[in-house]
A = this chain, B = another copy of it.
Amino acid sequence: MVKINEVAQAAGVSISTVSYALSGKRPISPDTRRRIEKAVHELGYSPNAGARMLAGSRTQIFALTEPLRKDTHAPTHMAFVLATAVAARRNDYDILLLTDEDATAGMSRVASNGLVDAILVLDVAPDDERVKLARAISTPTIFIGIPNDNAGLVCVDLDFAAAAELAVDRLADAGHRAIGLVGQPEVSYEMSNFPPRVLAAFEKRAGERDIRSGFGATGSKHTSRTATRRTVARLLDEGATALVLHCTEEAHVVVLGELAERGLRVPEDVSLVSVGASFDTAALRTPVDMIPLVPQTSCDLAVDLALQSLGEDRPEPGLRLIDPVYAAHGSLAAPPGGSAD
């Protein structure tokens, strides 16, 4: 393990010069700089992490808390973890994983031992217990997701409400008068923060546009497709000519299968719009229009905010809602028989 003094000696300069050359915090003559870089390279020097944390006051580590509930959707979750890690690395930060049984335990630990510069919160529940802890500690904390009680917090997320409204608007504009929402498994409306936002905005906007709206949950395991099929059947029976999908990829597949079995074509007989999916609905056997949830967008922003929290102008508390984007894939058309009711 080569140390800074060895580099200094090899380059024929003082320790502090090496340090400054590496941090760029003060001007170094081109010549000196070259000799130092040469020494660093030849000796394979890499500053000791512990010493850096102690002397400087940056650890170059962010904590990521993820309380992995049994209902978390693994692929989506992983996409967020990955996106966070990538964004962090791009800024020379590493990610420390906090998956404690007790979500708050790890958080308060790293907050009080100074292991991390900031904390990123994933898998936010409506009444998340990490909220009050975040208010109590001094380590900057960024929520990816929006808890009910979010006063004073920095939160980042897709604007799910706007996304739901956008979906309703597009369908209403196309002439649909009755729209069904195929939602998450029931339990998610208590455990997670965004499903309720979609549902509420969907119903509100439908009301505003004088549209009849229906709602139904999906099954929580792909082994029970029944719940999903029943929901689709009911919504169609109630007269829906379009469905908004806010569910897993598996559930999308089941919906498409159910429509196919009933001999219904997309978009001639039924229009579809997927909201908040983080997989590619254009790759399904029937491509579906989508207003995607892009983990990278949220995570990049979250990391930016975390970095900003370390500087002078700490970000204002408040929600950062990401504008929804509509991607057409041909699953939206006018309802059969024109815009009749």
> What residues of chain A have their CB less than 8 Å away from a CB belonging to chain B?
1, 44-54, 59, 61, 64, 68, 74-75, 77-78, 81-82, 85-86, 89, 94-101, 106, 109-110, 112-115, 222-223, 249-250, 253, 283-285
In the assembled complex, the CB of A120 is this many whole angstroms from the nearest CB of chain B, namely: 12
Contact of A96 among B44, B61, B78 (CB under 8 A): B61
Given A51-B53, A97-B97, 4 new contacts (CB under 8 A): A49-B59, A77-B78, A95-B97, A222-B249
Inter-chain contacts of A49 with B (CB < 8 A): 50, 53, 59, 113-115
- The answer on a CB contact under 8 Å between B74 and A99 is no
Q: Which of B52, B96, B222, B249 lies in contact with A94, CB distance below 8 A?
A: B96
Task: Flag if A48 contacts B113 (CB, 8 Å).
Answer: yes
Inter-subunit contact B78/A114 (CB<8 Å)? no
A97-B99 contact given A46-B112, A54-B54, CB 8 Å threshold: no
CA distance A59 to B250 in the complex (A): 42
- Shortest distance between the CB of A259 and any CB in chain B (Å): 15
Q: Is the CB of A223 within 8 A of B284?
A: yes
A100 touching B89, Cβ below 8 Å: yes
The distance in angstroms between the C-alpha atoms of A52 and B113, with both chains bound, is 10
The answer to whether B74 touches A78 (Cβ under 8 A) is yes
Q: What are the residues of chain B within 8 A of A52 when measuring CB–CB?
A: 50
B residues within 8 A CB of A59?
A: 49-50
**B residues in contact with A89, CB < 8 Å:** 99-100, 106
On whether the beta carbons of A81 and B97 are closer than 8 Å, the reply is yes
> Which residues on the B side are within 8 Å of A53 (C-beta)?
49-51, 53-54
Known contacts A54-B51, A59-B49, A78-B74; is A115 also within 8 Å of B94 by CB? Answer: yes
Q: Which residues of B contact A74 (CB under 8 A)?
A: 74-75, 77-78
State how many angstroms separate the Cβ of A172 from the closest Cβ of chain B.
30
